[in-house]
Amino acid sequence: QAADPTVQCLPRGVPGFFTMNPHPTEIVAKPGTFVQLVEAGNQWRRIHTDKRPHPKYPDPLFNGNSSAWWEGDTLIIDSVGFDSRTWVQSAWPHSENMHVIERLRRPNLNYLEYQFSVEDPEFMTKPWTSAWRQFTLGQDDDSLLENYCTNEQNTEQFEKLVDQEKSGKK
């Protein structure tokens, strides 16, 4: 779909990191920090896990302004202040006032479970919570590959410049 943000090489955003992402993801969790790396478009997010308060007037960011904390074996990520050019899921737009709560847990060594709740008074009449999604985990030696988004216009311009350089024209 042409309206899909990823067609325009925009980030998937949150919760699109999980709901719209066909690419491998690497998660790094250490005391005080959660990092998520995605093998597409140099997408990443780093979140402090000390339950710090959100900014009073958050700048709209693709991944929102996030704060996280642990409740038992579940990581809770609370995000506000979103750039409205991303989608919640396919063809589901949102406003800058969207509020997302994500829950991540690892019930065993092979799986990661993910659930999210969305609240957006500009697009929704009441909050909505997804079912739990289960993701199979890869091996520790799996590596993310370089994978960048380019659109046709940029690709054509780049190829034209390369051809000009090869022919000695500038």
In this predicted model, what pLDDT tens digit does every residue of 53-64 receive, in sequence order? 999 999 999 999
- What is this structure's pTM? 0.81
Q: What is the C-alpha to C-alpha distance for residues 163 and 35, in angstroms, rounded to an integer?
A: 40
Q: What is the C-alpha to C-alpha distance for residues 18 and 134, in angstroms, rounded to an integer?
A: 10
pLDDT tens-digit readout, 72-86: 999 999 999 999 998
Burial of 137 (0-12, 13-18, 19+ CB in 10 A): middle
Instruction: Tell me the C-alpha to C-alpha distance, in Å, between residue 165 and each of 155, 162, 169.
Output: 15, 5, 6
pLDDT tens-digit readout, 150-167: 765 455 555 665 666 667
